[in-house]
Amino acid sequence: MKSRNRKLIALGLGTALLAGALSGCSGGSSSSGVTTINWWTRVGDDRAAFAKKFNDTHTDVQVKVTQVSDDQYVNKVGTGVRSNNGPDVLDFDVANSPLFAATGVLADVSDKVNGLDFARDLNPGMSKLGTYDNKTYSVPFIAGPSILLYNKTLFKKAGIQTDTPPATWAGIEEDAKKVRALGDDIYGFDIPGACGGCLSFAAQPLIWASGGTTMTAASPDQTTTYSTSPQVADSLKFYQKLWQDGVVNPAGQTEAGATWGADWNAGKVGILLAGSWLVSPAEKGGSEVGYGPIPNADGSNFSTFAGGDNIGVIASSKNPDAAWEFASWLLDKDQQASIADTGSSPVRSDLLTADFAAKYPLVALQLQVSAKSDAPDSMATNALQLSATSPWLAAFQSIVYNGADVNATLTKADADSAPLIKQAYEQAGQ
Amino acid sequence: MFFVAPMVLMFWMSLNNWPLLGAVQKFIGGANYAEAVTDGTFWNSVLFTMKYTLIITPIELFLGYALALIVRRRFRGVAFFRAAYFAPVVVGFASGAYIFLLLIQPESGLFDQILQELGITSAPLPWLTDSNFALFTVVLMITWKTLGTSIILLMVGMQSVPEEIREASLMDGASWFKREWFITLPLMRSSVALVLMLNLTGSFLAFDQFFVMTHGGPNQSTVTIVMWIYTNAFVRYRLGYSAALSILLLVLLVIFTVAQIRALRDRSEES
């Protein structure tokens, strides 16, 4: 009986949500002089709070928020824009910025962004992805950079100092070996090896910190640089070595993303390169967690993945000014500072004061590493690196897990990638 | 109407460059089909899907037949066995795949623990990291998940064979095997045909189980046709090309199904 009631309630809620979504689609200006804009956003608890705060403090513009699940985002945006009942403003996985810019989904907001007095404080890696063909199509909104996490509880058990995180590749390897020596199901390191999107957090920062890159700038003439940027081979060899040392959690080889960090949260992994969201679950699991930047081999530099959400105005929006008013309001200091309370990272480096760093040490680290953030910048990133069938993922797996010849494998990955870039730009008519 | 209209639209899409995003829709005639002919990954996925079908179908038929024999007659507890065989069928493909993913985790999974406790293996098996083993793992999951349907269909087919005929053959001194082979099986040909056809179409359209469990890996060795269609539509955003691949899949499926029906019908006419 109870479950039947629940089903009825769920059905009712579903109908109500559907009705809300449908009415949200009509959008546009109303006769009362209030402009209503539709905001599509990725799934996140804090989004509705932003919309409420904006609506409570604005009378001429009101915002309606629709959360769209990640795995359908591009598809939903595509159909929404095509049928002219999509959003006016949307935030999205920053990896899709070049795609939405190059296919004309987003409006050129260069002038508006240049008019912001804090434009130069915005997250550089995410800003780079928002720029296409020297024009700005989207701006950073919420950042989710990757950092080095280490389990202090395991480190102490293994007799390793815990005051500072491992700061070189040799240091990572050495500490991982000591943690691995603790026992059967305790591993020194964990790699999400079947998840291209996770590797952007967990592998590429090693390349960027070393001064390398995986592709040239976004353009129809773009090429991948797996075989020509020697830092790519160096970092893959580093991971290959860790795997051959036997210090890496074997479950990671088939980790496709859904359970990324599960063993880390359970206190069974010593070192992990991931986002800050894996700090508190591990602490709740009873581990003391430390963190630091992701270093290059000798520790002289660091980098991070410019992960997170960019926000932009839809090119076909009937209310672009109201949409930008809302988007830029999200970048105000108050709103940005409130992001820190949720554990995610703001995108403005001018928030980073001594007081702020003392109050939010983890967020402060994210802001610091974001100064050197980078990301794959291509409208074909999904096909090139993120999907299960991407050449980058295939090369990564062959080299790290199967010990394949590094140079030959990377040369093949470049060859396999070229037609994907060509296809993507041809599709978009460029 | 609800079948023909989408089909016509899909065929029209397959003749166009039809991106998911942007407005650059252009008629390109048979170019998508020409590309498909030389698309190595597509033909590899066709071969892999056929291999998968050729493995799963006999398992479903023979194992299904064997288990259907057990629950054919009423006996104490038959309801339990029938329910136990059928229970996994109501679990979704994706849910079933996730259940198996947990069972095959190298450190915490139940399968490795049991095998190691029994002393059969000494280390975690390469469930998804070796290409043949990955196929085996998926076949194991799908057998668990769908065998119930085959069992029920075959059981109903067996029960539809008049008891008098079987009794008559028993009087004539036919052995158990001869009764099954020459009496029961020919009389339930339509049930067997149905099981074969459902398995053929089901395996040809396989997606969820591979998408969740293997992601097409390792090294893209387990990419099915539908997974490749999905990749082109929602990773590469090429709706036109994926429409063309879908049409080709439909053609393949029609050819194989018709061939299968013919094969079964011809033999029944001979006998």
For residue B5, CA distances in Å to B1, B9, B169, B250 come to 6, 6, 53, 15
- The pLDDT score that the predictor gives to residue B184 is 85
Closest by Cβ to B236, choosing from A263, A401, A420: A420
Give how many domains chain B has, as a whole number. 1
Q: From CA B29, how far away is CA B31, in angstroms rounded?
A: 6
List per-block mean pLDDT (blocks of 10 residues) for chain A, which spans 430 residues. Answer: 45 42 43 86 84 95 91 88 86 94 93 94 96 95 96 97 97 97 93 95 97 94 96 97 95 88 94 96 96 97 96 94 96 94 91 94 96 94 92 96 96 96 82
**Angle, CA of A75, A79 and A85, to the nearest 5°:** 135
Is the distance from CB of B19 to CB of B238 less than 8 angstroms? yes
Residue B23, domain member (yes or no): no
Summarised one tens digit per residue, pLDDT across range B172-227 is 888 888 888 888 888 888 899 999 999 999 999 999 999 888 888 787 889 999 99
Strands A61-68 and A35-42: parallel
pLDDT at A430: 62
Quote the pLDDT of residue B23: 67
Tally of domains in chain A: 2
Closest Cβ–Cβ partner in A103, A254, A423 for B22: A103
Amino acid letter, residue A234 = D
Is A385 part of the contact surface with chain B (CB cutoff 8 Å)?
Answer: no
The enclosing domain of A289 has a CATH number of 3.40.190.10
Q: Does residue A428 belong to the interface with chain B, where contact is any CB pair within 8 Å?
A: yes
Interface A–B counts its CB contacts (< 8 A) at 95
A11 domain residue, yes or no:
no
Whether residues A291 and A182 share a domain: the answer is: yes
The per-residue pLDDT for A427 is 79
Domain assignment of residue B201, yes or no: yes
Looking at residue B121, which CATH number applies to its domain? 1.10.3720.10
Q: Does A389 fall in a domain?
A: yes
- Domain membership of residue A241 (yes or no) is yes
Parts of chain B with a pLDDT under 70? 23-24, 266-271
Is residue B70 a part of any domain in this protein?
Answer: yes
Strands A269-275 and A187-190: parallel
Contacts of B24 in chain A (CB under 8 A): 427-429
Rounded to a whole number, what is the distance in Å from the CA of A413 to chain B's nearest CA?
12
> Residue A247: which of A164, A174, A344 has the closest Cα?
A174
Any domain includes B115: yes
Parent domain of A170: 146-305+380-427
DSSP states of B229-260: HHHHHHTS-BHHHHHHHHHHHHHHHHHHHHHH
**Do residue A428 and residue B21 have CB atoms under 8 angstroms apart?**
yes
Secondary structure letter of residue A28 according to DSSP:
E
A146 contacts A307 by C-beta, under 8 angstroms: yes
* Chain A environment of B223 (Cβ under 8 Å): 389
Pairing mode, strands A35-42 and A28-29: antiparallel
Using CA atoms, how far apart are residues A42 and B40, in angstroms rounded to an integer? 36
- CA A366 from chain centre, in angstroms, equals 12
Its pTM stands at: 0.86
| ipTM over 0.90 threshold | no
Q: Is residue A43 part of a domain?
A: yes
Nearest to B219 by CA among A197, A203, A193: A193
* pLDDT tens-digit map of A52-81: 999 999 999 999 999 998 888 998 998 888
Q: B19: which strand partners?
A: B238
Kindly state whether residue B247 falls inside one of the protein's structural domains. Answer: no
- pLDDT value for B269: 53
What is the rounded CA–CA span in Å between residue A8 and residue B116?
Answer: 46
Q: How far is A47 from chain B (nearest CA, A)?
A: 25
Return the residue of A nearest to B41 by Cα: A389
Beta-carbon contacts of B151 under 8 Å, excluding residues fewer than 6 positions away, are B64, B67, B68, B71, B82, B85, B86
Same domain, A285 and A415: yes
For residue range A101-150, list pLDDT tens digits in order: 988 999 999 999 999 999 999 999 999 999 999 999 999 999 999 999 99
Q: Is A82 helix (H, G, I), strand (E, B) or coil?
A: helix
A138 Cβ contact partners less than 8 Å away, ≥ 6 residues apart: A92, A97, A100, A101, A106, A109, A129, A130, A310, A311, A312
- Pair A389, A397: CB distance under 8 Å: no
pLDDT at res. B62? 93
Question: According to the model, what pLDDT value does residue A184 have?
Answer: 80
What's the pLDDT at B267? 56
Domain membership flag for residue B256? no
Question: CB–CB of A342/A411 below 8 Å?
Answer: no
